[in-house]
Chains A and B, each alone.
Chain A
Amino acid sequence: MSLKNKYDVIVVGAGPGGSMTAKTAAEKGLNVLLIEKRQEIGSPIRCAEGVGEKSFKKFFPVIKDEWISTKMVGVRIYSPDGTLVEMSDNRAVGYILERKIFDRDLACMAADAGADVFTKTRATDIIIKDNFVKGIEGIRLGERFKVEADIVVGADGVESKVGRWAGIDTTLKPKDIESGAEYLISGIPVEDLCEVYLGNDIAPAGYVWAFPKGKNRANVGIGILGSKIGEKRPFDYLNEFVKKKYKNGKIIEVIYGGIPVSRPTKTFENGIMLVGDAARFTDPITGGGITNAMESGIYAGEVAAECIEEEDFSEGGLKKYEKRWRSTIGEENNRSYLLKEFFINLPDGGLNALAHSINKINITELSVKGLMRTLIDKNPWIPAKLAKLFKKK
């Protein structure tokens, strides 16, 4: 099996975004190359692996058992003074995935649909001809190579370079990225609930999470806003928390990672599109990015097929891509970004007041929207401009 000289579409990065792009484009009959620089797809993970059931299910006719570590039935949020806000409706509302298996399976699906897949193969630059991205340069097992394509998709995650090479500034300001650390801890009591801990002493402008992974394990992690990091780092905060809460747990995996909490970048140029974390599509409030990566991957795969059909790879032709994500991912991002701006400036007192106002209520609409609607109802001091975004249409 060797690289061809030319493909219709080259997808850089085999995370959920890239694999979904490659799968979609290959299903549409395109000649697709999917490359991944790591030797193993899906590992090491940079994720807490939580997804909402509804938003995950819509991508697949069947959810395979081996993708799912745990079905979770609710979320518990603890304010700085320990006040509990509970969201549940007594049925599975989300999954904690096993991403090492899921990511790899998704890449296999792209391969099964006809895409060529190569691991330990890294893009090092793009080829530009007459102002159009026309392929990539790369390195595979120590050998340099060039491959041409009509469209290149940058699905290269938080560390994305594809966009930069094409002149799109994807640099994140420290105030627009959470710096994260996480342990997989074993031997601790867990329920099938996701826990979230808030507070400026716990996780400045971020949160600590504990997501269940089976009967006695959990992904316990932290994200702290880049602009709030001082001498004490996310890793130090996490250690403090774990020492207090899970004294007897055994740490069986260490994970680090950055989570964009930004507005999306520009996502297309002549001959190129960006999907997933590369386009900064993570939700600025929850930090969730798996389903947005897949959704944008589907749009990019579809638009690639349409543009190849129409033989128009220009910015103008690819603008369709932005149109598609704007109304879904874009609208949610806008809401969450403004909400993030509100929350990061809230002192602990404000967080406590919010929690007190709703701690007797069980919120059954399990989403940021559901939570915000309940909060807005009880807290007229929440700025009207923000409240407006969460009104039922």
Chain B
Amino acid sequence: MISVNRYKCGYCGTCVAVCPAGAIELVEAWIEIDGESCVECNNCVKICPIGALEVSDESKK
């Protein structure tokens, strides 16, 4: 699972642009991630200008 640290996130939408699965949505001033359609490519985590997206521990297990 990818999680968003919304205290860091500047809701710029860069992560949305690189998501091949269309699993991320920039709603208004927040990001929503649909875990079901996420393909775990982590492009969003890598592209974020501030590192607001993280792979949460659950899925690392």
Enumerate chain A interface residues (CB-CB to B < 8 A): 37-39, 44, 46, 120, 122, 157-161, 164, 170-174, 177, 179-181, 226, 229, 233-235, 254-258, 260
Q: How far is the CB of B48 from chain A (nearest CB, A)?
A: 7
Q: How far is the CB of B35 from chain A (nearest CB, A)?
A: 18
Residues of A within 8 A of B29 (CB): 38
Instruction: Please pick, from B12, B17, B28, the residue contacting A120 in the complex, using a CB distance under 8 A.
Output: B28
Chain B residues 34 to 61 lying within 8 A of chain A, measured CB to CB, are 43, 46-51
Q: How far is the CB of A392 from chain B (nearest CB, A)?
A: 36
Would you list 24 pairs from A and B whose C-beta atoms are within 8 A, ordered by A residue? A38-B28, A120-B28, A122-B27, A122-B28, A158-B16, A160-B17, A161-B25, A170-B17, A171-B18, A172-B18, A174-B18, A177-B47, A179-B14, A179-B48, A180-B14, A181-B50, A226-B46, A226-B47, A229-B46, A233-B48, A255-B12, A256-B12, A258-B12, A258-B49
Identity of the chain B residue whose Cβ is nearest the Cβ of A159 in the assembled complex: B13
Q: Is the CB of B47 within 8 A of A258?
A: yes
Residues of B within 8 A of A181 (CB): 49-50
0/1 string, B2-27, CB within 8 A of A gives 1 = 00000000111110111110100111
Residues of B within 8 A of A257 (CB): 12-14, 49
Q: Is the CB of B28 within 8 A of A179?
A: no
Q: Is the CB of A179 within 8 A of B20?
A: no
Residues of B within 8 A of A159 (CB): 13, 16-17, 26
Residues of A within 8 A of B46 (CB): 174, 226, 229
Separation of A257 and B27 alpha carbons in the complex (Å) = 15
- Given contact pairs A158-B13, A235-B49, A226 touches B22 in the complex (Cβ within 8 A): no
Q: Is the CB of B18 within 8 A of A256?
A: no
Separation of A255 and B12 alpha carbons in the complex (Å) = 8
Q: Is the CB of B10 within 8 A of A256?
A: yes
Residues of A within 8 A of B17 (CB): 158-160, 170-172, 177, 258, 260
Separation of A170 and B22 alpha carbons in the complex (Å) = 10
Q: A46-B13, A229-B47 are in contact. List 18 more A-B contacts (CB 8 A).
A: A39-B28, A122-B27, A158-B13, A158-B16, A158-B17, A159-B13, A159-B26, A171-B17, A171-B20, A173-B18, A179-B14, A226-B43, A226-B47, A233-B49, A235-B49, A254-B10, A257-B14, A257-B49
Identity of the chain A residue whose Cβ is nearest the Cβ of B8 in the assembled complex: A235
Instruction: Please pick, from A44, A160, A174, the residue contacting B47 in the complex, using a CB distance under 8 A.
Output: A174
Identity of the chain A residue whose Cβ is nearest the Cβ of B20 in the assembled complex: A171
Enumerate chain B interface residues (CB-CB to A < 8 A): 10-14, 16-20, 22, 25-29, 43, 46-51
Residues of A within 8 A of B12 (CB): 46, 158, 255-258
Residues of B within 8 A of A44 (CB): 10-11
Residues of B within 8 A of A37 (CB): 27-28
Separation of A274 and B17 alpha carbons in the complex (Å) = 15
Separation of A158 and B12 alpha carbons in the complex (Å) = 9
Separation of A299 and B18 alpha carbons in the complex (Å) = 27
Q: Is the CB of B47 within 8 A of A179?
A: yes
Q: How far is the CB of A267 from chain B (nearest CB, A)?
A: 16
Identity of the chain B residue whose Cβ is nearest the Cβ of A255 in the assembled complex: B10
Identity of the chain A residue whose Cβ is nearest the Cβ of B13 in the assembled complex: A159
Q: Which 8 A-B pairs have the closest CB atoms?
A: A258-B14, A159-B13, A256-B10, A159-B16, A256-B12, A234-B49, A235-B50, A181-B49
Most buried by B among A157, A177, A258: A258
Q: Is the CB of B28 within 8 A of A233?
A: no
Separation of A258 and B49 alpha carbons in the complex (Å) = 8
Residues of A within 8 A of B48 (CB): 179, 233
